[in-house]
Chains A and B, each alone.
Chain A
């Protein structure tokens, strides 16, 4: 019959193209070929490892210092990266400070990713009045620059780690919601969603199986690009005295307290800033690499 003849034709035509692999397999294969993303990823992983393993790295106490050891330059025996204005070991403070800074960089974005995705996907899929209400409220938040918003919320809530987590989460919900809404609305109009609906699947199943799988990765990539912003904002809040309180080490706060030392030893004073710069740059480049690796079409 004609169908069998066609079958052999199709098979012959397909002989060349290789077997199929999973989507994530393909993404990681492409990511591995990107030297910049790999270098940045390695740096981030090293930093994360150092930060997590800080208590076991036999570092000196980051909180207690000695007044006679103040502002020793980089390379002093026993203080590889020198000491700060209160004679505390800089290396130890940078590693321990990274804990809080990274936490304040990652957690708000993670929370905002969860909340913003839920809001955006709901608004984009259901549409109508719900979409209007959610997106117009989001627009109101967009009217304020993110730093101003973070400072305002933190100022209202008061200083502290938890409060700055809350304020940063609120700052990042609107942009993530907006991205989630727009990708969901575009996926919603595709015919495979209609096909899933006429297969009799309920709306929750359609969203879980057919919508989320196709919107999560663009939203995730966008969220990773926000981590560096979040880290800088967190450091900024601490710098202004709205986040972490002394003597707790945190990069933004260290930058603030070391301001006075800038004429005595500019290198020491710049170290926390260098760390913020390097980490956020790496996060940005990594999310860029992830974005292009995830763009697996054809």
Chain B
């Protein structure tokens, strides 16, 4: 099946080799200006994504977590080119978007699955037409595109003879999300951004779709960026996890080392908010109080200092830089406590995860 589709629409070639990260995001910034008044005078901006840098390696799954409004979805839309980047670079397999890479070329390699399975399907199109639309736009002959669409439907577990001619409202949520995955796959991408793609599904269907995603990743050699607020799901599917708070990356690292040591107090609080499976080990005190601060006017210094229980003066004045955790270069966190020279009284202390156990 893969070979047959290969003749229809080739995946963009691997140009940079395995060592070249698939995506390098460098100091990405996206502010949404707030317009008020008759002539739209600037009255500040929502700092949705501020100075976010990370890489996505070929073949891995990067999980992005954080509470609502932390910039996860905006980051996703920046990665897929649906939102304009205010400043910073997006480098896809060595090619910089806007310089040596056009949006159209980016979309040949990156596709996205959205959270709302119903809103992401055109209600007036059969699901076969929906899946075949993208390849047709890229010049694949209609007949081939439709044949490939039916193959993909079968691949995501929907019998084509039964489902191909259906409309989105005739499908269940899980089935619709399978269609969305097939639609993304039809473009033969190398990277798929899954923005809360399973969050709206019920638990049993969610597990099925997660298994399907894992199978497809192996079969098509895909790379995922998986955005979710469900830490268990992220742990299951991801190789690395990136934690965002108020438009910034606070911690990034491999799943195991992040699970072992939550170096940033926000990460620790986020993990502590996970419901425990053990009734003797209930979460009785809310690990984090209050709402996130206003992203129009974020706190000075470390953006988390207004809610952090370890906050000291230095946190309000100086922005912490990302530093390796326990000397592990793959695991980085931005907290003054990790920096012995920061002036924080707990700086250099063995770790925080003991403090919230």
Q: Is B81 an interface residue (CB 8 A)?
A: yes
List B contacts of A192 (CB < 8 A).
119-122, 130
Quick check: A2 and B215 within 8 Å, CB to CB?
yes
0/1 interface trace, chain B 105-134, chain A, CB 8 Å (1 if under): 001101110111001111111100010011
Q: How far is the CA of A199 from the CA of B103 in the complex (A)?
A: 10
CB of A244 to closest CB in B, whole Å: 41
Quick check: B183 and A195 within 8 Å, CB to CB?
yes
Q: How far is the CA of A199 from the CA of B111 in the complex (A)?
A: 8
List A contacts of B158 (CB < 8 A).
7, 10
Chain B residue at smallest Cβ distance from A17: B170
Interface size range on A against B: 20 to 34
Quick check: B82 and A194 within 8 Å, CB to CB?
yes
List A contacts of B104 (CB < 8 A).
200
List B contacts of A13 (CB < 8 A).
172
Chain B residue at smallest Cβ distance from A18: B170
CB of A210 to closest CB in B, whole Å: 5
CB of B102 to closest CB in A, whole Å: 10
Q: Is B80 an interface residue (CB 8 A)?
A: yes
0/1 interface trace, chain B 140-164, chain A, CB 8 Å (1 if under): 0000000000000011111100110
Q: How far is the CA of A14 from the CA of B165 in the complex (A)?
A: 14
List B contacts of A196 (CB < 8 A).
122, 133-134
- Known contacts A196-B133, A198-B82: A3-B138 contact under CB 8 Å: no
List B contacts of A201 (CB < 8 A).
133-134, 137
Considering only residues 168-220 of chain A, those with a C-beta below 8 Å from chain B are: 190-192, 194-201, 205, 209-210, 213-214
How many residue pairs between the two chains, A and B, have CB atoms under 8 Å in the bound complex?
A: 96
Considering only residues 204-242 of chain A, those with a C-beta below 8 Å from chain B are: 205, 209-210, 213-214
- Known contacts A196-B133, A201-B133: A23-B215 contact under CB 8 Å: no
Interface residues of chain A: helix, strand, loop or mixed (majority) = helix
List B contacts of A3 (CB < 8 A).
155-157, 211-212, 215
Q: How far is the CA of A196 from the CA of B136 in the complex (A)?
A: 11
Chain B residue at smallest Cβ distance from A23: B124
List A contacts of B5 (CB < 8 A).
none
Quick check: B133 and A199 within 8 Å, CB to CB?
yes
Q: Is A11 an interface residue (CB 8 A)?
A: yes
Q: Is B319 an interface residue (CB 8 A)?
A: no
Q: Is A76 an interface residue (CB 8 A)?
A: no
Quick check: B137 and A195 within 8 Å, CB to CB?
no
CB of A69 to closest CB in B, whole Å: 58
Q: How far is the CA of A198 from the CA of B169 in the complex (A)?
A: 23
Q: Is A1 an interface residue (CB 8 A)?
A: yes
Quick check: B81 and A191 within 8 Å, CB to CB?
no
List A contacts of B163 (CB < 8 A).
14
List A contacts of B154 (CB < 8 A).
7
List B contacts of A20 (CB < 8 A).
126, 165-167, 170
Quick check: B123 and A194 within 8 Å, CB to CB?
no
List B contacts of A1 (CB < 8 A).
215
Q: How far is the CA of A192 from the CA of B125 in the complex (A)?
A: 11
Chain A residue at smallest Cβ distance from B178: A10
Chain B residue at smallest Cβ distance from A19: B165
Considering only residues 1-60 of chain A, those with a C-beta below 8 Å from chain B are: 1-4, 6-7, 10-11, 13-14, 17, 19-20, 23
Quick check: B138 and A200 within 8 Å, CB to CB?
yes
Quick check: A200 and B119 within 8 Å, CB to CB?
no
Chain B residue at smallest Cβ distance from A210: B122
Q: How far is the CA of A194 from the CA of B110 in the complex (A)?
A: 13
Chain A residues packing against B (C-beta within 8 Å): 1-4, 6-7, 10-11, 13-14, 17, 19-20, 23, 190-192, 194-201, 205, 209-210, 213-214, 297-298
Q: Given A199-B187, A200-B138, 8 other A-B contacts at CB below 8 A?
A: A3-B211, A17-B170, A194-B82, A198-B110, A198-B112, A199-B134, A200-B134, A201-B137
**Could you give 22 example pairs across A and B, Cβ below 8 Å?**
A2-B215, A3-B215, A10-B157, A10-B175, A11-B162, A20-B165, A20-B166, A191-B116, A192-B122, A192-B130, A195-B120, A195-B180, A196-B134, A198-B82, A198-B107, A198-B111, A198-B112, A199-B134, A200-B104, A201-B133, A214-B122, A297-B169
Chain B residues packing against A (C-beta within 8 Å): 80-82, 104, 107-108, 110-112, 114-116, 119-126, 130, 133-134, 137-138, 154-159, 162-163, 165-167, 169-170, 172, 175, 180, 183, 187, 208, 211-212, 215
Closest 8 CB pairs of A and B: A199-B134, A191-B120, A191-B114, A201-B137, A213-B124, A7-B157, A20-B166, A192-B122
